[in-house]
Chain A
Amino acid sequence: AQTVTQSQPEMSVQEAETVTLSCTYDTSESDYYLFWYKQPPSRQMILVIRQEAYKQQNATENRFSVNFQKAAKSFSLKISDSQLGDAAMYFCAYRGLGNNNDMRFGAGTRLTVKP
């Protein structure tokens, strides 16, 4: 089964600075999707960014970008110009395109933004 690992339980960043959250995954599939979700204190799960494995170009969404290294099975999230509203739990997720089309999540990284 696919596994997703987030090795940083907690991270902190100064407001306006840049922070990178790490994620690695294990899979034998060649085609799949990767996601980063944000969960603020409201508990709502919010999609931040998605990456198709067949695309070599790293996805970007405004201040959020990813560093996707397919051979290394690594999918990190970079948040630039951090804002107080970025404080949340961040989850990395993997979705395969084979027969088992489930979606697996990492344990999460709690991001604190210091003013």
Chain B
Amino acid sequence: DAGITQSPRHKVTETGTPVTLRCHQTENHRYMYWYRQDPGHGLRLIHYSYGVKDTDKGEVSDGYSVSRSKTEDFLLTLESATSSQTSVYFCAISADQNTEAFFGQGTRLTVV
């Protein structure tokens, strides 16, 4: 299994509070992704990174920011959490453009 760890695995937070989710990899893969999974929507891309300090927006990036200061870590921040951001969040990594993505175990975030 690819060495990819998401933390925390579960979190409950209050509306309006900041939240940071962490994705850590030990594979030295170039690409890292953050997705959210909601019933009926599948996995929707929030942000992704194609190198240290190189990031781009996905299809549902509003309300989220990311940072990648080193190869192994990709942080997803909700600046001010809202109930609509209650979801399961997945991190994925990929070595290059020609390979599949490997996924973390997911983080269940509940905003109350």
Q: Of B33, B42, B103, which is in contact with the most chain A CB atoms at under 10 Å from its CB?
A: B42
Q: List 22 A-B contacts (CB under 8 A).
A: A1-B59, A9-B40, A35-B100, A43-B105, A45-B92, A45-B103, A91-B43, A93-B101, A95-B97, A100-B56, A101-B31, A101-B50, A102-B45, A102-B56, A102-B58, A103-B45, A103-B92, A105-B42, A105-B43, A105-B44, A105-B45, A106-B42
Number of interface residues of B (CB under 8 A): 26
Which residues in B have some Cβ–Cβ distance to A below 8 Å?
Answer: 31, 33, 35, 40-45, 48, 50, 56, 58-59, 88, 90, 92, 94, 97-98, 100-103, 105-106
**Shortest CB–CB separation between residue B66 and chain A, in angstroms?**
13
| Chain A residue contacts of B98, Cβ below 8 A | 33, 97
Contact with B along A75-115 (1 / 0, CB 8 A): 00000000000000001010101001111111110000000
Decide if A30 is an interface residue (CB 8 Å cutoff): no
Number of interface residues of A (CB under 8 A): 23
| Chain B residue contacts of A50, Cβ below 8 A | 100
CB pair B42 A6 closer than 8 Å: yes
| Chain B residue contacts of A105, Cβ below 8 A | 35, 42-45
Q: Of A1, A43, A47, A50, which is in contact with the most chain B CB atoms at under 10 Å from its CB?
A: A43
| Chain A residue contacts of B44, Cβ below 8 A | 105
